[in-house]
Amino acid sequence: MRTVAVIVQPGFAPFEFGLACEAFGLDRSDDGIEPFEFRICAPDPGAIPSNLGFSINVVDDLTFAETADLVVVTPVPRASWSRIDPRVAAVVQAAAARRAWLLSVCSGAFVLAAAGVLDGRRATTHWKYATEMTRLYPAVDLDPDVLYVQDDTIITSAGTAAGLDACLHLLRIELGAEVTNTIARRMVVPPQRDGGQAQFISQPLPAVASLSLAPVTDWMLANLHLDLTVDQLAARAHMSTRTFARRFKQDLGATPAAWLARQRVLHAQRLLERTDHGIDRIADESGFGSAAVLRQNFVRTLGLSPSAYRSRFSCPDERADAAASAA
């Protein structure tokens, strides 16, 4: 993925538009990340009014979007949910046909649905608009309870900040967990939020609402290779098992076992990217115990095997740096 087009139309939402610009439009060369060729496009270039009373000046028409590797669709006003500019529809349909990435933020999913590319696909949008989406586009398999959904090369996200989760998810697929970590750190946001479906963005540090759990989660991250039980963790937190489990789910959005499994997968990802360790050793250091269990968790969570992941996301320079540091 090298070229990114963001389509804006009259009445666009500035915040959701800004998320796409932040994720794909900034030059991060100083972090060693090659920038995308990024353009903002509109059916009729010129002053495009937002829904907050100001306009942006858009130079490019939809020509760039016709061949872009990623086409991002920003939210549109309610009046546009049941009809769509035929020029935008053509770009969206062509992108789906050539298997380019399509990503919608919030009510931008209505543009994809109106273009027909979500028929028979799983998708999401802001929970507040779910009923209207189902009414207008019953062929869409709508899931209103998640932050985002990927169905093949089409990604739809829920409201507002969930669009950033979707952007990070796509960056993770295209650039790998380590690079996405760097981007998320620059944004000063947690690269992963649990939201009811598997989301595969690397999380370097746990997002803990209660500082009382921070020492425990830090210890868990430092001891992923151990056989950790909820009883042990509760004792370390000086809580009863029941209280610990309830507090953990409340603060981190997942059970201790689910959170631990996710962190083990993430640690295995980093080892696959940055080291030459064999699969058995990575399974042991990640706490999975065996290559078979590691492979099972990888396929269930990421949809590909550890060896396939390494082939795609291995970072030779980081492996060399890690080897030099260990020497």
Angle between helices 316-326 and 256-274 (to 10 degrees): 90
* Cβ burial, residue 90 (10 Å; 0-12/13-18/19+): middle
| Cα 276 off chain centre by | 27
For 50-105, write each residue's pLDDT tens digit: 999 999 999 999 999 999 999 999 999 998 898 899 999 999 999 999 999 999 99
Torsion of CA 60, 64, 70, 71, to 10 degrees: 50
Q: What domains lie within the chain, and their CATH numbers? A: 3-185 (3.40.50.880), 205-320 (1.10.10.60)
Predicted TM-score of the model (pTM)? 0.63
Give the DSSP letter string of 254-284.
S-HHHHHHHHHHHHHHHHHHH----HHHHHH
Q: What is the pLDDT of residue 88?
A: 97
Give the pLDDT score at 241: 93
Low-confidence stretches of the chain (pLDDT beneath 50):
194-210, 318, 320, 322, 327
Rounded Cα distance between 180 and 273, Å, is 13
Rg (CA), the chain: 21
Contact 88, 9 (CB under 8 A): yes
Whether residue 3 contacts residue 37, with contact meaning beta carbons closer than 8 Å, is answered with yes
What pLDDT was estimated at residue 315? 65
Q: What is the pLDDT of residue 203?
A: 38
